[in-house]
């Protein structure tokens, strides 16, 4: 019987029991894909990351939801960086994490706030009319606040601006409708809705999990894709935004989004280490 040690952390957390939960396994060498997915289903967290050795980074991670593997996700990357720094007792503030979407540079500032630099965004038009998109989200066309766009800074998602915070809170999409009408290039429905009021953004992120609708507590990839949307739509730079997520599911996450004059996108948040555990297989 082998023992696999993992760390439980919360990412984008202002308090110990807020933010987005994550388990990070110290050493997943020798585990096959089916076992990695089964572990993620066993723990039933939004995502689980598994650490492997890397040649061109401090560590390589693989990220699994209970349903599938993801090429990139923000909160597992930030949480994994925190665990890698803790395990290796790194004195420096910068490190690199290799993901399936590429090598991601990260750094730590005071109070264990970690920040990653997102990949350069790519785009794809949304072919739905405003009437169709509003109906899919359970809203009226007047609730839309701009042009929806598929954005990819590591994971492609449909980014939808809304006209008010109230519209963000009123979204009621259906899983089977999202799966049919707004899949990304990997065939998975992932939708970010948001509203900006000066420097404050209220954001919700919906996805489907084995036929059911799910809402994420704090989504670093969606925050990065929001930065890509702002670039595509000519928002004045530099941009520094406070992003709030999780209101409707009673689990608040605080994210920081920066887009600099050089069009680089940065997403950050505090990581809280809660404890460790062992899994016997």
**Which DSSP symbol is given to 164?**
-
Selecting among 14, 26, 47, 69, the annotated active-site residue is 47
SS3 28: coil
Active-site residue, 186 included:
no
Please give the chain's pLDDT, 281 residues, in tens: 899 999 999 999 999 999 999 999 999 999 999 999 999 999 999 999 999 999 899 999 999 999 999 999 999 999 999 999 999 988 778 999 999 999 999 999 999 999 999 999 999 999 999 999 999 999 999 999 999 999 999 999 999 999 999 999 999 999 999 999 999 999 999 999 999 999 999 999 999 998 899 999 999 999 999 999 999 999 999 999 999 999 999 999 999 999 999 999 999 999 999 999 999 99
pTM: 0.96
Q: Number of helices (H) and strands (E), helices first, in the chain?
A: 6, 17
Question: Can you give the pLDDT at residue 112?
Answer: 95
Cβ 114 vs Cβ 107: under 8 Å: yes
Residue from 98, 135, 139, 137 nearest 119 by CA: 98
Mapping DSSP onto H, E and C, the string for 176-226 reads HHHHHHCECCCCCEEEEEEEEECCEEEEEEEEEECCEEEECCCCHHHHHHH
């Amino acid at each position: 019987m082998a023992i696999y040690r993992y760390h439980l952390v919360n990412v984008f957390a202002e308090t110990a029991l807020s933010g987005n939960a994550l388990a990070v396994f110290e050493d997943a060498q020798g585990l096959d894909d089916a076992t990695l997915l089964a572990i993620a289903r066993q723990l039933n967290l939004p995502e689980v990351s598994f650490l492997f050795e890397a040649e061109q980074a401090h560590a390589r991670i693989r990220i699994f939801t209970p349903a599938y593997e993801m090429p990139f996700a923000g909160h597992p990357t930030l949480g994994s960086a925190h665990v890698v720094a803790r395990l290796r007792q790194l004195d420096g503030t910068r490190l690199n994490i290799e993901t399936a979407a590429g090598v991601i540079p990260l750094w730590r500032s005071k109070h264990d706030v970690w920040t990653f630099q997102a990949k350069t965004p790519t785009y794809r038009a949304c072919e739905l009319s405003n009437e169709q998109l509003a109906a899919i989200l359970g809203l009226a066309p007047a609730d839309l606040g701009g042009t929806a766009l598929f954005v990819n800074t590591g994971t492609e998602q449909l980014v939808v601006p809304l006209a008010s915070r109230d519209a963000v809170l009123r979204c009621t999409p259906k899983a089977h409708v999202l799966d049919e009408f707004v899949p990304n290039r990997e065939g998975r429905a992932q939708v970010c809705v948001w509203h900006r009021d000066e420097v404050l953004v209220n954001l919700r992120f919906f996805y489907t999990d084995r036929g059911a609708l799910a809402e994420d507590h704090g989504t670093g990839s969606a925050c990065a894709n929001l930065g890509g949307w702002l670039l595509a739509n000519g928002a004045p730079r530099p941009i520094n935004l406070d992003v709030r997520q999780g209101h409707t599911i009673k689990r608040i996450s605080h994210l920081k989004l920066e887009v600099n004059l050089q069009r680089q996108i940065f997403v950050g948040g505090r990581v809280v280490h809660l404890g460790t555990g062992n899994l016997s297989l």
